[in-house]
Amino acid sequence: MAAASSIVPAVNAVMEETEEFLCDLIRFPSTPGEEAGAMEYVARRFGEVAETERIPLRDALRDDPEYSGLYPHLRYEGRFNLRACLPGEGGGRSLLLNTHLDVVPPSQGQQLPFEPRTHEGVVAGRGACDAKGQAAAIFAAFLVVRKLGLRVGGNVTAHLVVEEEVGGNGTLAMVRRGERADACVVMEPTGLRIMTSTRGALWYRIHCTGRPVHGGSAAEGVSALEMAVLVMEILKRYHARLLAQSRHVALFERYANPMPILFGRLAAGDWPSMAPAHAVLEGMLGFLPNRNRREVMEELRQAIEGGADDWLREHFTIEFLYRHDCHVLDVDHPLATGLQACVRAAGAPGEIAAMTASCDAWFYHNLLGVPAVVFGPGELRFAHSDEEQVRLDEVAIAAAALVGFIQHWCGAPSLVI
């Protein structure tokens, strides 16, 4: 069994190679549907330290009831996820690690988003913390396991996936393969905190129809745009009620608004002096573990029907493009406490907290029954921003914590020097 005193120096010894890996990965503009270059790169690099398998994706994924269809143009034939495995020798518990290689498009005004920049131990660029820095931490951990000659009892398997940013379709494809494990660590930017609870999220699209008329006859028409504005007011009132009912959900109490509502897009109208016939409102609503997604979907629908005027009540439709449930693991579960001890041994506080964003943890935890936590270097406030970055010392701590946890959880029988 390797002590933390030997793991940390071993991680530090591979950080130059890890930084190179991260910077190379950032250079791939791997927005959803365009991840091929990044996936090929990690397949090659992980192939140096683990057994790897390309998991082909199929267009039939679109027919899955949990599929998130935010972008109808995305196709899957010829694309793949990567499965990288350190096989166990038997007798230990198995561990899954998950992270994603897709990134959101550059922020408005972001300069050279796919040109990594390193300054004073910080790597900046699109995907630096969400979530290529996470892939780098897993890569460093696998490197150290190999370099130390660490033998594991149970399998350690990494799922490196596409399309987390558009609803988790890559992880959904991996989950549908039915791979079992005794625990899962989903790698996202948590500031090295261990997230045993994550909130859920719904992305909605609401269509409102009106009665188009000339501006000179405005009183005889119905503006679909005004109907969409009314819907926004109804949804804000619903959100306020739901937030009030969710104030005391464990681990979320510290946040003023851990389950925001956001109106992201509104399209309506063709002419300034004509009431528009059609308006489309798109946005996001978060919710906490005192509700599930199906309850919130129905409550949203009922809120619009109950708060609308007679016209809107009969002239709207709502669809949900992204439907992530919450995930909750008991804070005293051995996965949480064991990882916490390893994070502390690696040099970070190891705080257990709740994540005020949704991610792919619920796929493993809720659909497969695999206990899951969320953990990783980098701060969520930098993700998707024009200042996206990750500290290399946090990547190193995360990697050291993973190595320690692999030993603890997977029952490494011995250390071969």
Taking only the tens place, the pLDDT of each residue in 311-329 is 999 999 999 999 999 999 9
**Average pLDDT value over all residues in the chain:** 94
ω into residue 131 within 30 of 0, thus cis?
A: yes
Q: How far is residue 90 CA from its own chain's centroid? A: 31
pLDDT at 1: 57
CA dist., res. 390 & res. 129, Å (int): 5
Element (H, E) at 387: none
CATH of 201-324, picked from 3.40.50.261, 3.40.50.150, 3.30.70.360, 3.40.50.1980, is 3.30.70.360
Q: Which tens digits make up the pLDDT trace of 162-200?
A: 999 999 999 999 999 999 999 999 999 999 999 999 999
Which residue pairs from 295-302 have beta carbons closer than 8 angstroms and sit at least 24 positions apart in sequence? 296/200, 296/202, 296/242, 297/202, 297/323, 299/238, 299/242, 300/202, 300/204, 300/235, 300/238
> Cβ(316)–Cβ(231) under 8 Å?
yes
- Return the CATH superfamily for domain 4-198+326-410: Zn peptidases (3.40.630.10)
Instruction: Collect the ranges in the chain with pLDDT lower than 50.
Output: 413-417
DSSP code of residue 124: E
Instruction: Specify the DSSP element, H or E, that contains 356.
Output: none
- Domain parsing of the chain, residue ranges: 4-198+326-410, 201-324
